[in-house]
Structure 1
C-alpha cells in the first residue's frame, strides 16, 4: 500500500483539527489596559468556498475581490470574540458584524488578522514544500 495512505490510516482521525492561533491587538491592549486577544482559526473548505463566491471576474478576465473579503474572512475565521454577538453590535451601535469589525479595528489590524487566518488555512508560504525527485 502507498506510504501516505498507510500514514493516514494508522493515525487517529481526531488529530485533524482546525489550527488556531491567538493574536494580540497591541493598540487595543494599550487602550483597555489588558491584553486584547483575538483567537483565529483556519477556514474549513466549505467556509473558503463561501468566500470564493465573493470573488467575481470582470469583462477583461481580471479577478475582482469584494472590498470586504478581509472582513468576511475575519468573520468566518475568528473563534473569539464572536463578532456576530447582538450584545456587542448593540454596544457599538452597529447593525451588522461586518460593521462591528470595521468599527473595532484599524485597516492594518484587519489585514494582519486576515493574514493570520489565511496562513492557518494553509495559504502561508511554509504550508507546503516541494520535494525534489531523486
Structure 2
C-alpha cells in the first residue's frame, strides 16, 4: 500500500496534536514537577522562532536564545500561564514565572521535551540514522 492509499484509509477525524507529561526536577523548589507539554501549531512555532531573531537586510544578526526557549515553553506548557501560580510566586507575567521557578539547565531540558513533542528530536534522529547505517552495512 502506498502512502496516498494509506492516508485515504485513515480516519481524518482522529487527527490530534501530540502531548506529553514531562517530569522535571526543580532545584529551586526541591521537588519534581509534572509538566504537560502540548505540540504547537507549526505556523505559531515558526513565528516564535522569527520573533526571537534580529534580521537586517535578510541576514540574521542575532538570535535571543532565552526568548526563543521561554516563549516556546510558554506556548507549549499551559501550567506557566496559570494566573494563580503567577500570583502565588509574585511574578508579573508567565515569562517571569518561568524565570523564578526554573534554572537555565531546567529550561533547557523542558525546551528539549517541547521540541520532541513537536517532532524535533535531534538525538533520536542521530540514533536512528546510526541504526539504519548498521543495518545497511549488514
Instruction: Name the TM tier (shorter chain).
Output: 0.7 to 0.9
The change in CA–CA distance for 1:14 and 1:65 in structure 2 (over 3 A counts) is: farther
- Is the partner of 1:64 in helix, strand or coil? strand
Q: CA deviation at 1:58?
A: 4.6
Q: Distance in 2 between matches of 1:63 and 1:123?
A: 24
- Is the partner of 1:25 in helix, strand or coil? strand
**Structure 1 residue 106 corresponds to structure 2 residue 106:** no
Q: CA deviation at 1:94?
A: 1.1
**Structure 1 residue 4 corresponds to structure 2 residue 32:** no
- Consecutive aligned runs of 4 or more in structure 1 exceeding 6 Å deviation: none
Which residue in the other structure is 1:43 paired with? 40
- Is the partner of 1:53 in helix, strand or coil? helix
Which residue in the other structure is 1:75 paired with? 74
TM-superposition CA deviations, 1:10-30 (whole Å, max 9, x none): 1012332222121112235x7
The change in CA–CA distance for 1:46 and 1:61 in structure 2 (over 3 A counts) is: closer
The change in CA–CA distance for 1:50 and 1:13 in structure 2 (over 3 A counts) is: same
Which residue in the other structure is 1:57 paired with? 55
Q: Cα RMSD (Å) of the superposition?
A: 3.0
TM-superposition CA deviations, 1:22-49 (whole Å, max 9, x none): 1112235x724xx420111222113213
TM-superposition CA deviations, 1:75-95 (whole Å, max 9, x none): 01114x2x1222111111111
Name structure 1 gaps, 5 residues minimum: none
Q: Distance in 1 between matches of 2:15 and 2:62?
A: 33
8 Å CA contact retained: 2:74, 2:95: yes
